[in-house]
Chains A and B, each alone.
Chain A
């Protein structure tokens, strides 16, 4: 009997469509969020993350509608976020059908937001999203989709966020994101051993071996990836079989 290591596909959503950022090219359309959600639910995903990556706040209604459409397809947990600024933003996302809400920039600006959300909805519903770049021997969190440096230390920030009520950490390596060079296991292990909450690793996933490494060397509780699943390069069930054969506890689909 043991807690399974979660595999979490992520849908980056802009204007109601799943997109993938391509360097110098802008965004590429990857499909309909509800259709992809239904597929991942069927294929044995352990959870789904939906992130609003549209730069402005104008598409808020569209994003909530996307959450509703996605939630209808799922009988697994749903995490949603991107641009959550206030308690009311968080409430709207949860009301639309998400089980957890992720917060990044607004929590850096005003850490009390984490406590407020946790008091209202419980720590299990509050996920701190931390986007980091390596800086010497440590990692620095960035806000606004990787644009603004915070001057903080990622491990110290994660610890503070947990003490304020974050129940989970979604940790993205900006250095690795989109590179297909594997998760940053040193980063993930440093954070996972420092905080008493589950850590979801993100950024750089390409192969089955990358997932194996982040669950073992990286000590991650869960790992997230987007494009490798969207393009059907990898099926989740094949990945789980690979991991199970190597002694990693995973939930095998029935």
Chain B
């Protein structure tokens, strides 16, 4: 079972690779559409700027293969900027289209709170979640971001509050995405990744 970790040219892939490898998953870095198409499941990690991310995908012709994968129901996990890229657009890069799996716009966290939202925070669960199985309700997750998708997004299953309620965990039929970094969230984060791998099997 091969899991493709999408390599858009930046981002800290080794920590995601290491976290998945520790759980016994076989991964490869996907830089070409064929690799996305042939993978059993896809992980879309990301840090940095929304524009750099979506441009990186476009330059590698990965945008349409990711949309195809989404439509065909291939299991997918977005992490941090990888979650944000699944939306239509972001205030971070007006005019740059995202992957458009979801219609909402990603918004800047307001100036009423410390930004970036950096550190360990808890979640408010709103719907049953596969990714959060066997994780206590009061567990902490590591966040590092300045933009976020509104918690009102249709497939939100857990929200977090920082300036406004935002989507911390999203789950659709085969798609999952988290705003926090599971690969940096200690044993709790490892359980999230384990739950994702279970759902792929």
Contacts and interface: CB of A to CB of B under 8 A. Distances in A.
Interface of A: 1-4, 6, 41, 46, 71-72, 75-77, 94, 97, 99, 119-125, 167-168, 196-198, 221-222, 251, 253-254
Contacts of A123: 116, 146
Interface in B136-184: 136, 139-140, 142, 144-146, 160-162, 181, 183-184
13 contacts: A1-B122, A4-B121, A6-B120, A75-B184, A122-B47, A125-B47, A125-B48, A167-B118, A168-B118, A196-B111, A196-B114, A221-B119, A222-B119
B119 A76 contact: no
Contact of A97 (B12, B139, B185, B189): B12
B26 to A, nearest CB: 19
Contacts of B183: 75
Given A197-B116, A251-B120, 5 more contacts: A2-B122, A120-B10, A124-B47, A198-B118, A254-B139
A114 B47 CA distance: 17
Given A4-B140, A125-B47, A97 B118 contact: no
Interface residues of B, number: 41
Contact of A198 (B47, B114, B161): B114
A2 B114 contact: no
B89 to A, nearest CB: 18
Contacts of B162: 3
Contacts of B111: 196
A124 B144 contact: yes
A99 B12 CA distance: 7
Contacts of B185: 75-76
Pairs A-B, 10 closest by C-beta atoms: A251-B140, A124-B144, A124-B116, A4-B120, A122-B48, A1-B122, A251-B120, A167-B116, A77-B184, A3-B121
A99 B123 contact: no
Nearest to A72: B18
A122 B140 CA distance: 23
Nearest to B113: A196
Interface string B1-38: 00000000010101100110000000000000000000
Contact of B119 (A75, A198, A253): A198
B186 interface: yes
Interface of B: 10, 12, 14-15, 18-19, 47-49, 52, 111, 114-124, 136, 139-140, 142, 144-146, 160-162, 181, 183-190
A167 B147 CA distance: 13
Contacts of A46: 119-120
Given A4-B140, A198-B114, A121 B161 contact: no
A77 B115 contact: no
Nearest to B122: A1
A168 B117 CA distance: 10
Nearest to B145: A124
Contact of B186 (A76, A120, A168): A76
B115 A197 contact: yes
Nearest to B188: A254
Contacts of A120: 10, 48-49, 52
Given A75-B185, A198-B114, A251-B140, A1 B161 contact: yes
Given A4-B119, A251-B120, A75 B48 contact: no
A240 to B, nearest CB: 11
Contacts of B12: 94, 97, 99
